[in-house]
Amino acid sequence: MDLVLVGLSHHRVPVEVREKFSVPAGEMEPELRRLLEAAPELRSAVILSTCNRVEVYALATRVHAGFRVLISYLSRRSGLDYSSFRTHLTLLSNARAVEHLLRVVSGLDSLVLGEDEILGQVRAAYMAAGRAGATDAVLNGLFQRALSLGKRVRTLTGINNGRASIPGAAVALARSVTGGGGRDLADRTVLVVGAGAMGRLAAGLMRDRGAGRILVANRNLKRAEELAGELGGTPVSWDSLREALSEADIVICCTNAQGYVVTGDMLRSVAGERRSPLCLIDIAVPRDVERDVEAELDPNGKCQIRLFDIDDLHRVVEDSNRERLAEAEKAEALVEAETEAFVKWWREREVAPYLKALRERAEELRLRTTGRFERDLAALSPREQAKIEQFTRSLMKGFIRGPLEALKELASAGGEYPAGLEMVSRLFELDKDMGTDTSPDTYPGQDPDTYPGQDPGTGSGAGSSTVTGPGTGLDTNTGPADSGMVRDADEGGERDAP
């Protein structure tokens, strides 16, 4: 089995494309069940869907089989033809996929370096997969260690200093657009649309930055009332959202809605009533604010409404990210060590059934051979029988010592070790003797709070390759103009994609 990852992220994909692939939390479990039921090539899967990425991690029978299944899934999910998003894709396998997840959960791959939200988002994705029965022992081990590492990185480094977060970047953008200093916010009315984790953080930061008045709107009024009460703000009913837009100077939208919350018609009607500028920052994916409204509102260059989405945060996070680069280097070292540790455990788990089967095969041959001389042995004294028993056991032990050592060496070998396992299996006719892997279901040192308690599966191959972008050989229509790279993680080299 191979670990495969197919995904899209903020590094290469604009929000208007990412939002087409997003999977709401309420759909995650049935989505995973449908994916695995329709794909015998996959043994287990976890879907990570956030405002900045949609990634599917899965154990597959073969790397390219897994790639094909997941690309087909993403195509169905988004309603887009593969050719329209192939250049946006990142495809990773085995050790490189492990390393990527560990970098993601550590905040190293985030728009805001070291952000804390991603840790909770990875945990939620993993727990959803557990409830759906979509995980096995290898994915359990991987995600448990990823979550543990994410905590450790934030404890041992300062990568998340300054409360690094997407809402924090949105607040910084709002301050820069509306005048900058905290004193300027004292005269501002801020409307936060959405009372979930992101909305709570955004509203809290606005309060801490001295916002004069905070309005909280949420589809569930009780949640809006609770958050507003904590912050000394004012709750807004969903039906009163348009009126709140008229009052606000700054709006931060961060709901989980699957359609536009703030429509073009809404803003056009609000624009005619305003005497002061309105700054809208939409950090939701899918987006909450109808994007084309900005252009429609200002045919004469006089409109005072400015609209930003999550991709516009890049310019305000660059300075903050630079300040954390030294801490990021420490985090990268932790990621590298954890990647090596996990891959070692994974390979040992893969090899364990072969060791067991080889020993059982040797014992089977020994008993079959001595059974042919059962009558002759019966005529010997008990002492002589014991000597022959000892001799045959020692003989078989010596005979398989070399293959056993070779199998153990494969556990720490490079990307060719699956081929080595197959060769040993064929030489000693182990296929029919392969039993169920009884090694531990979880990775040593797991965080018990992160384990969803699903039935374990078996291990998988831990060689590694990376494919990013076009030219992966997954599309028979790939033309000669397409290019891509396949990286062999164990050799550290690169070669043209097939």
Q: Which of 341, 368, 345 is closest to 429 using CA atoms?
A: 368
Distance CA 479, CA 441 (A): 44
- Among all chains, which residue has been given the structure tokens 């002061």? 276
Residue 470 DSSP code: S
Cβ neighbours, 10 Å, residue 405: 10
254 in active site: no
Cβ neighbours, 10 Å, residue 158: 15
Distance CA 105, CA 146 (A): 6
Q: Is 482 helix (H, G, I), strand (E, B) or coil?
A: coil
Give phi and psi for 90, each to the nearest 5. -120, 125
Q: Which residues contact 265 (CB under 8 A, 6 or more apart)?
A: none
- Sign of the alpha-carbon torsion through 410, 411, 417, 421: positive
Strands in 73-188 per DSSP E? 90-93
Tokens of 269: 């009607």
Q: Which residue in the list 51, 253, 254, 303 is annotated as catalytic?
A: 51
Give phi and psi for 56, each to the nearest 5. -115, 120
Tokens of 99: 């390393």
Q: Which of 122, 153, 151, 152 is closest to 139 using CA atoms?
A: 122
Q: Which of 403, 75, 51 is closest to 198 using CA atoms?
A: 51
Evaluate whether 69 touches 63 at the Cβ level (below 8 Å): no
- H or E element at residue 466: strand 464-468
- Sign of the alpha-carbon torsion through 131, 133, 136, 139: negative
Q: Is 487 helix (H, G, I), strand (E, B) or coil?
A: strand
Looking at the DSSP bridge assignments, the partners of residue 176 are none
Q: Is 181 helix (H, G, I), strand (E, B) or coil?
A: coil
Q: Which of 21, 71, 75, 72 is closest to 49 using CA atoms?
A: 21
* Catalytic residue IDs: 51
